[in-house]
Chains A and B, each alone.
Chain A
Amino acid sequence: MLTSIISTGLAMGAIYALIGITYNTMYSTSRVMSFTAGQLGMLGGVFGALFILRFGINSVVGFGLTMMVCAFIGVVTELVAVRPVLKSIEQHLYVLSTLALALMISQVVAIEWSTEPQAFPRFFGTAAALIDEKFWFPVAACAATVIGLEVLYKHTLTGRAFKAVAEDNLAAQALGLPERNLRIASYALAAMIGGLAGFSGGSLLLAFVANGGLLNFYGFVPVALGGLGNNRGAIVGGFGLGLFQQAASFLVGGIFASVAVFSLFIIVLLIAPQGLFGAPQSRRV
C-alpha cells in the first residue's frame, strides 16, 4: 500500500507540478492565469497517442511533433486569448477568453478524437524495468524541466530577459527588451511543459479528453498553495497534492478523496490567499 501511495503519488504529483509550472510560466510574462494549462496536459497525451499509435510515427519523432503542436497551441493562446485582453487586465477578461479557448480545445478533442480514454504508447519500450516507466517518467520529466528552467533563467540571455519581464514589465520594455516576443516565447515554453506533463504521464492518465478539466483543477491547486509565480512552491505543492490525494484514495476512497482535496484547497486559500510561499499582493493606489 505504501509503495503504491509513493509511486503513484509521486508520479501524479510530478504531473500536477508540471501543470503548475505551466500556469506560472504563462503568468510570469503576462500576469494571466490561463485555463488552457490543463488542456495542454491533456493534449500532450492525445497528440502523443495520435502520432505514435495512430500514425505509427517513431516515438522520439512523435514526441518532438507533440511538443511542436503544443508550442503552437501555446502561441495561439497568446495571440487569441491573451494579447487582445492584456490592455484591460484589471477587468480580468482573460479568465473568460482563456476559458473559452480551453472549452473549444476540449470540445474539438471530444468530437474528433474520442470521449473515451484511448491507449497511450510506451515510450521506453516494453523491456521489463525495475520500476514501470509510468511511475518514473513523469518524475524524470519534472526534474528535467526544473533543471532546464534553472539553466535557462540563470545562464542564458533569453532566460534573464524572461526574468526581467516577469519582474517589471514596464521597466523591461523601457530597457528595450522585446517584451511581446518574449511573451510569445514564454507561452510556447509553457505549452511545451504542459504537453510534457501529459506526454510523460500518458501511460498513467491515457489519452483522455476528461484529463483536461482534471489537470486544470489539480494543476492549479499547487499554484494556489505554493503561491502564484513561485515554481518551487508549485513543485512542493504538486508532490504534496499527489501524495495527499493518493493517500486519501486509500484511506477514504473515491468520491470522498476529491472532496478532501477540494476542502483542503479552499481552507488553505481562505487562510492564506497568497498561498503558503506567495508574496503579498502589490499596492493598488
Chain B
Amino acid sequence: MSADGAQAGLEPLSALKVGGANASVVPFLAIFALAAAVPFIGNDYWVLIATRAAVYWVLVSGLTLVIGYAGQLAIGYVALLTLGAYVTSVLAAGNVLPPIPVFAALALAGLVGAVAGVIVGLPALRLRTFYFAMTTLGFATIVTQIALAWQSVTGGGIGLSGPEMPAPFNTTRGFFFFCLAAAAMCTWMSSNIAGSRYGRSLVAIRDADVAAEAVGISKPGLLTKVFIFCGALAGIAGGLFASLQTYITPDAFTFDLSLLFFISILIGGRGSILGPLIGTIVLTLLPEIAAPLAAWSAFLYAAMLLAVVLLIPGGIAALLDFKSRAPLETGRTIAPRLDMLSALAPAVGNQETLSVRDVVLTFGAVRAIDGASLDVASGQIHGLIGPNGSGKTTILNVISGFYAPNSGDVQLGGVPLEAGDPVTRTRHGIARTFQTPRIVGEACVLDNVMLGGTINGRAGFFATLLSLPGSFRDERMFRSQALAALACVGLDGLADVRADRLQHSELRFVEIARALMSRPKLLLLDEPAAGLSVHEIVHLGQLVKAIAANGAAVLLVEHHADLIFGICAHVTVLNLGRVLAEGTPDQIRVNKEVVSAYLGG
C-alpha cells in the first residue's frame, strides 16, 4: 500500500484503482483460508464436500469466462467433465495404452478437454444463443452415449475406477489440499484473464458486440482462446472428480451437474469471479444442509435461476457491489481538458486522406447509397449532413466496415480498406462512435475506455494467464492512457463509476474517449451532439476541433446545423444516397438545392 501511496501524487485515480484491486483480493483470501481450515474443524464428510466444491470450482472458474464474461450460454458443460474423468481414468488404468502416472493423465485430460472445448464451443461462433445452448445440451448427451457404448475402453455401464492419486495426495486430507491448491491456482489464472484486456473484450462481445468489432476485437479468435482454457480446466476438473468419486459410471454425470455449474455462475453474477466462487460453494453445500429437500433439489436450482434472472440479474456480485449504490454527485458538468489531447495524438506526420469513391450499397430493392464520394483530409473536420434516411450513417458503416458496398471503394492514405470487415479498422487507424452509444453498462467507465486500446496490448493470452511482466506493462499503459483520454473529454472524475449509471450525454463523451485510445488517424462521429445540452455541445465542438487540430481527420455526421457550420471546414450534403452538394459551410448555407431539400427553406 505504501508504494501505491507514493504514486498517489502523480496519478490519484490509478492509485485508488490499485488500492481497490488489493481490497478485492481480501474476500478470496478469506474464502480460501476458511476452506483450508475445514480439515481441522470438520470431519471427513465436510472435507469431502469442501473437496467437491474445489473440484467444481476448477471447472466453474474457467466456465465463468465463457458464460459470465463472454455471455455464451453453454448449458451442457458436464460433457467436458465427463470427458476429462474418462480420459484420466482410462489412461491411469491403462485400458488402452500402458498405464501412465496420474499427473500425466491429468495433464492429458486437460489437453483433450482443451480440444473438446473448442469443438463444443465452435457453434457459438456461428449460431445464435439458443441454438448454441441446444448444441451444448446435445454434446452432453452424445458424450454419455459414447461412454456407454465404447465398453472396451470405458467399461460401458459398469464404468471403471477413478485414478488413484500418489502419496501424499492419496488421503482424504492430502487430496483436499491438492484440489484446494488447484482451485486457488485456477482462481488466480481466471482473475488474470478477467482483469486484462481479454476480460474486457469478452464482456464487450457480450454486451456491445458491435463496439467490440469496431475497436478491433476478433470474436472467433478471442472465444477460441477462452474455450481452450475453459475446456482444459474442465478436463482437469473431470480427472479430479473421477478421483474423488473413486469410481465413475456414465450415470454419475447428470444434467443436474451442468445445471449446478451454470447456475453457480449466474447466481454469482456475470462478469465476476468472486460471485461465482460463492455461488459454487453455496450450491455444493445447499443439498447437504437441506437433505430433506433432496427430491426437490433440481426444482430449487431452477427456481433460484428464475429468481436470479428476474430479480437480481447481477447476482451476488451485484449485491456485494456497495460502491455502485452510493449516490453520484448531481449537477455534474463535462469539462474537457484540451491541453491533454497531445498525449493521444496520432503518430506525427499523419497526412492520410480518407477517400470514398462512387460507393453503391443496396438493401434489397432500396439503394441506400447511390454512388456517393467524399474526401476527408487529415486535420480537417468534414461534416456529413442530410435528411433522415439519406444514407449518412450507412456511409459511416461502409467506411468502418460493417457493410460491404456493392461497388465503389474506400481508401485511407491510398490503402484500400477491406470491405465488410470492421475488425480491421482499428489497425488502419480508424475509430468511431455510434448513434446510440455502445457501452458496456456493467463495466466501469475506465474499463470501457480502456477497451479502445485493446489491439495495442503486447502480452498474449498465455502471458496474461500467468500474469507475466508483459501483462502488467500493458495494463499500466492502458490505464494511464485511458485516464488521459477521460481527462481530455472531461470525465476523469467518473472513471470508477459503472457506465450504466452515467447520463446519456456523458456516454457520448465516454465513446469519444474510447475512440481516442487507439490514437486514430480518422475519427468517425455519428451524431455526437444528439441529446446534449447547449452547454455540452459547445464543449463537444471545442473537443472535436482540438482533436482535428492534433492531426486526426474527423468525419462528423450531425443534424445539429450550428455545430456543423461552426466547426467543419468542409461539408457534404447527402440526399437519397447521393451527394447533393459539397463545399465550405458558407457555400452550403447558400446552396439553393440544399436549402430546399434539407434546411426546409
Contact between chains at A100 and B305 (CB < 8 Å)? yes
Q: Inside 8 A of A265's CB, which chain B residues have their CB?
A: 135, 138
Q: Which of A88, A100, A269, A273 has the most CB of B within 10 A?
A: A100
Contact between chains at A103 and B71 (CB < 8 Å)? no
Contact between chains at B299 and A107 (CB < 8 Å)? yes
Contact between chains at A111 and B296 (CB < 8 Å)? yes
Binding stretch for chain A, among B125-133, B339-347, B456-464:
B125-133
Q: Contact partner of B138 among A84, A101, A217, CB < 8 A?
A: A217
- Report Cα–Cα, A130/B573, bound state, in Å: 75
Q: Give per-residue flags for A45-65: 1 if the beta carbon is below 8 A from chain B beta carbons, else 0.
A: 000000000000000000000
B188 at the interface (CB under 8 A from A): no
Q: Inside 8 A of A266's CB, which chain B residues have their CB?
A: 123, 135, 138
The interface on chain B, measured as residues whose beta carbon lies within 8 A of the other chain's beta carbons, has a size of 46
Contact between chains at A258 and B141 (CB < 8 Å)? yes
B89-146 contacts to A, CB under 8 A, are 122-123, 126-131, 133-135, 137-138, 141-142, 145-146
A151 at the interface (CB under 8 A from B): no
- Interface on chain A toward B: helix, strand, loop, or mixed SS? helix
Q: Give per-residue flags for A245-260: 1 if the beta carbon is below 8 A from chain B beta carbons, else 0.
A: 0000000000110110
Q: Given the interface contacts A91-B71, A269-B135, does A99 sit within 8 Å of B141 by beta carbon?
A: no
Q: Inside 8 A of B64's CB, which chain A residues have their CB?
A: none
B122-178 contacts to A, CB under 8 A, are 122-123, 126-131, 133-135, 137-138, 141-142, 145-146, 148-149
A137 at the interface (CB under 8 A from B): no
B360 at the interface (CB under 8 A from A): no
Q: Give per-residue flags for A87-129: 1 if the beta carbon is below 8 A from chain B beta carbons, else 0.
A: 0100111011101110110011001000000000000000000
B246-260 contacts to A, CB under 8 A, are 259
Q: Given the interface contacts A81-B306, A104-B303, A285-B402, does A99 sit within 8 Å of B145 by beta carbon?
A: no
Contact between chains at B310 and A85 (CB < 8 Å)? yes
Interface size class of A (residues with CB under 8 A): 35 or more
Contact between chains at B131 and A269 (CB < 8 Å)? yes
Contact between chains at B303 and A100 (CB < 8 Å)? yes
B31 at the interface (CB under 8 A from A): no
A251-285 contacts to B, CB under 8 A, are 255-256, 258-259, 262, 265-266, 269-270, 273, 283-285
- Report Cα–Cα, A104/B207, bound state, in Å: 28
A187 at the interface (CB under 8 A from B): no
A224 at the interface (CB under 8 A from B): yes
Contact between chains at A270 and B123 (CB < 8 Å)? yes
- Across chains A and B, the number of contacting residue pairs, with CB separation under 8 Å, is 108
A33 at the interface (CB under 8 A from B): yes
Q: Inside 8 A of B131's CB, which chain A residues have their CB?
A: 224, 269, 273
B281 at the interface (CB under 8 A from A): no
B554-585 contacts to A, CB under 8 A, are none
Contact between chains at B134 and A255 (CB < 8 Å)? no
A170 at the interface (CB under 8 A from B): no
Contact between chains at A270 and B310 (CB < 8 Å)? no
Ranked 9 nearest A-B pairs via Cβ: A103-B302, A100-B306, A107-B299, A100-B305, A92-B129, A33-B130, A100-B302, A104-B302, A285-B402
B residues near A, CB below 8 A? 71, 73, 75, 122-123, 126-131, 133-135, 137-138, 141-142, 145-146, 148-149, 206-207, 209-210, 259, 266, 295-296, 298-299, 301-303, 305-306, 309-310, 313, 363, 393, 397, 402-403, 434
A residues near B, CB below 8 A? 33, 80-81, 84-85, 88, 91-93, 95-97, 99-101, 103-104, 107-108, 111, 217, 220, 224, 255-256, 258-259, 262, 265-266, 269-270, 273, 283-285
Given A91-B71, A258-B142, 5 new contacts (CB under 8 A): A80-B306, A95-B129, A97-B309, A103-B305, A258-B145
